[in-house]
């Protein structure tokens, strides 16, 4: 299933690389990024899965392997990542307790299990 999303993931990373190169405000653009994600992403990936990806120890290596233009932008990417984490965690605080169980997910690059 993840292979189906890889072109979409790459397209979103290209967008992030462009924003980073332009020095866009990571706080504002984190909101824009989440708002512009295709509906299918919201349907297939839970906020808990997003947090697992964003908190993965190799998060930067993973995204820069998929979009090399991100490699020189680690500081901007980290600021964007932290803002995304804050937004998603705030959203989860407003969800019922029963929806907070994270499903198993895999790394889009190497297929490694990212679940707990």
The three-state DSSP-derived secondary structure of 27-77 is HHHHHHHHHHCCHHHHHHCCHHHHHHHHHCCCHHHHHHHHCHHHHHHHHHH
- Token pair for residue 31? 């909101």
Residues with Cβ < 8 Å from 30, sequence gap 6 or more? 80, 83, 84, 87
Q: Considering only CA atoms, which of 66, 68, 65, 45 is closest in space to residue 114?
A: 45
Query: Looking at residue 62, what is its pLDDT?
Result: 92
Query: Looking at residue 77, what is its pLDDT?
Result: 96
> What distances in angstroms separate CA 112 from CA 11, 41, 107, 115, one per listed residue?
22, 20, 5, 9
Q: Considering only CA atoms, which of 62, 67, 65, 49 is closest in space to residue 114?
A: 49
Question: What is the tally of structural domains in the chain?
Answer: 1
List of the chain residues with pLDDT < 70: 1-2, 96-116
Query: Looking at residue 39, what is its pLDDT?
Result: 84
**72 within domain boundaries:** yes
Q: What is the CA radius of gyration of the chain?
A: 14
- Taking the complete model, does pTM exceed 0.95, yes or no? no
Query: Looking at residue 56, what is its pLDDT?
Result: 94
Query: Looking at residue 100, what is its pLDDT?
Result: 47
Q: How far apart are CA 79 and CA 24, in angstroms?
A: 11
**38 within domain boundaries:** yes
**35 within domain boundaries:** yes
Query: Looking at residue 59, what is its pLDDT?
Result: 93
**111 within domain boundaries:** no
**108 within domain boundaries:** no
Which structural domain, as residue segments, surrounds residue 70? 2-94
């Amino acid at each position: 299933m993840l292979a189906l999303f890889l072109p979409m993931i790459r397209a979103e990373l290209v967008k992030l690389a462009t924003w980073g190169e332009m020095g866009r405000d990571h706080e504002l653009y984190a909101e824009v990024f989440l708002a512009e994600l295709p509906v299918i992403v919201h349907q297939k990936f839970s906020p808990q899965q997003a947090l697992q990806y964003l908190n993965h120890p190799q998060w930067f290596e993973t995204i820069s392997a998929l979009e090399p233009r991100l490699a020189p932008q680690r500081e901007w990417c980290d600021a964007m990542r932290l803002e995304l984490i804050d937004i998603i965690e705030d959203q989860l605080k407003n969800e019922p307790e029963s929806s907070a169980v994270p499903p198993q997910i895999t790394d889009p690059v190497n297929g490694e299990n990212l679940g707990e």
